[in-house]
Structures are given as C-alpha cells and as structure tokens.
Amino acid sequence: MDRNTLQSRAFLALLIGVTIAFFILLKPFYGAIFWAATLATLFWPVYQRILRRMPGRRNTAAVLSLLVCVLVVIIPLSLVVTSLVQEVLQLYARVNTEGSSLQHYYQQIVAAVPPQVWALLDRFGLNTFADIQPKLIEAANQALRVVSTHAVSFGQNTLQFGLAFALMLYLLFFFFRDGAQLTAMLRDAIPMDERYSRELSSKFSAVVKATVKGNLVVAAVQGAMGGVMFWAMGIQGPMLWGVVMAVLSLLPAVGAGLVWAPVAIYLIATGSILKGILMIAIGAGVIGLVDNVLRPILVGKETKMPDYLVLLSTLGGLSLFGITGFVAGPVIAALFMSIWAIFITKKDEGSLDR
C-alpha cells in the first residue's frame, strides 16, 4: 500500500469518525433542528417572495419570514397545546374526584341495550360484557393516567421546552437566510452524481411539503371540526378529543370515527337521540369527507404514500422520536420510497453503471 492510499484512507476514517462524533454532539437538539428545517422548507416560498421585493436584504427577509411563521403556525399551535394540557389535567382530576364516573357511563350504555340484543348475544356465547367491564374501565383509567403524566411532564419541563423553542427560532432564521448556500454545499459534499443529488434534493423538499400539508393539515382540519362539534354538543374536553381525532385521522378508513362514533352511540343509548344522529351525520358526511377532498389537493400523486405506510411510519416515528415522529416518520418513509424510485429508474435506464 503506497503512502497516498494510506493517507487517503486515514483521512476518510478521520472524516467518518469526526462526523459521527458531531452528530452525537447534536443529538440533544435533533428536535429543534428538525422542526427548523421543516418550517424553513414549508415557508421557503414566502422567504423568496419577500426577498424579491427587497433584493440583497437577506437578513430583513429572513426576519420577516420568521415573523410570518410565528404568527401563522407557532402562536396558534402554542395556544392549542396550552389549552390541551389544561383540559387533560382537568379531566384527570375530575375522574379521580368522581371515582366511578367511567363505570357510570359504561353502565348507562349497558342499561340502554334492548333485552333482545342481550338474548341474541347470549345465544352466540358473546354475552360476556360483565366479565370484561373491570378490564375496560381499568384500561381507560390507565390510558388517562399516561396522558396526564405526559401533560404534567410537559408543564414541568417548561424551561427545557423554552430553550429548544428559542434554538429552533434561531436556526430557522439562518435556514431562511443561508438555505440556498447550505443546500448547495450539501449537494456538493454528497459523493453522488450532481443529477442524482439535485433530484434527491428536490424530492426531499416535495416530500416534506406534501407530507406536512397532506397529513398535518388534513389532521388539523378534521380535529378542529371534531372539537367544534363536541363543544357545540356540550361534550366535556372538546380540545382533548379534537386532538385525539386529529391523531387518529392518520388511520385509513376509520380515523376520527374511532372517537365520534362511540360518543354518538352513547348519546343515542342515553336518550339524546337527536344529538347522536346529528353527530353521526356530521362525522360521516362532513369530517369523513375532508380527507377525500383536501388530501388530493394538498398532496401530489407522485408523492402520496399508501394509507398503511402512513400509519406504520407515523406510529414508528412516534415511538422513536416522540411528537417529532408525527412528521419525521412519514418524511423518512416517503424519502425511502423516493430514493428507491430514483434507483429503480436509473437502473432501468442503465445510468447507474456509467
């Protein structure tokens, strides 16, 4: 092995080692970096539009773009999160105070079931609801405890959250101002043909926009409509259930129906027949159609992922990255599909061998 080869390998090993160490160093800030990059990608057209009106003033354009982002996304989201935490804690305190409130609701539903239905269930050996009642109530209580624990943890980590939030805004400014140069530098640094790196860069931008707009906007609209419906009908915790419906909207076919459908059944079973029927009509006829109407508009056909992949990637992202995984999971999955699509296309063209 000659001296030049040895030096090249030593430099490559040093480069890899320092890069790994650098990424480990940044690990506590992955969430802030990810959200800053995501918001910069989403609001990049806004920054470019402002910059065209004031050429050469990149700092001013970046500050104005940052203000737009704060007003449009961050402030409304902060208000929703604050209200959500308060509702979760109030609901948990109310359940602990009332003690058997969940059991009371369960017994109301059971009492409203006609005797003919119980006879039919008994004939098929399915009349075992009394046996599973304690397990259902305990599961509901445990789920509520987990959610409330996370809410309390969120409140206790206000300082940590504030620091991450400030770092995200700081990075967002520089991603706006230096985004073009950073993207060009990354393309040059990647050991890949310029055609592939440019195509991958454009795919990444399209995937982030499509994923965030197609999933988060649809989820937010469905959750907001569901929360307003619950509020108008006097259901306790409308903000909480609206957020739950927003998360469940990622589930194919059923989605938000996993929340409003049982509530509608409960309303009908307890005598509020008009409210229950109205909830079913709004849930199926309005909330259920949002996905079919908005998603094709917000997501291009070339970047749309199958529903099952959205579900799996979202759940996997949440388990690995926490709340950041709500976006990071689908983005990683969409990038996986895009990269393999590029690979297959280039392979069929025979350009990978050149």
Q: What is the largest CA-CA distance in the chain?
A: 90
**Secondary structure of residue 129 in the 3-state scheme:** helix
**Residue of 159, 205, 203 lying closest to 179 (CA atoms):** 205
Integer Cα distance of 55 and 320 in angstroms: 42
CA angle 77, 323, 139 (to 5 degrees): 110
**What percent of the chain has pLDDT above 90?**
6
- In sequence order, what are the residues at sequence separation of 6 or more whose Cβ sits closer than 8 angstroms to the Cβ of residue 218? 249, 290, 291, 294, 295, 298
- The pLDDT value given to residue 147: 54
CA 86, 89, 92, 95 dihedral sign is: negative
Across the range 311-323, mean pLDDT stands at 79
Residue 140: pLDDT over 80: no
pLDDT tens figures, 248-282:
776 655 677 878 888 888 788 777 788 888 988 88
- The pLDDT value given to residue 65: 92
- The pLDDT value given to residue 68: 92
Integer Cα distance of 72 and 158 in angstroms: 22
- The pLDDT value given to residue 303: 57
- The pLDDT value given to residue 90: 67
| pLDDT category of residue 219 using cuts at 50, 70 and 90 | confident
Tell me, what amino acid is at 217? Answer: V
Mean pLDDT of the chain: 75
- The larger pLDDT score, comparing residue 190 to residue 46, is at 46
Across the range 115-144, mean pLDDT stands at 57
Judge whether 222 and 245 are in contact, CB under 8 Å: yes
- The pLDDT value given to residue 66: 92
* Runs of H (alpha helix) within 212-324: 218-232, 238-248, 257-269, 273-282, 288-298, 307-321
- The pLDDT value given to residue 128: 53
pLDDT tens figures, 28-78:
888 888 888 888 888 888 999 999 888 888 899 999 999 998 898 888 877
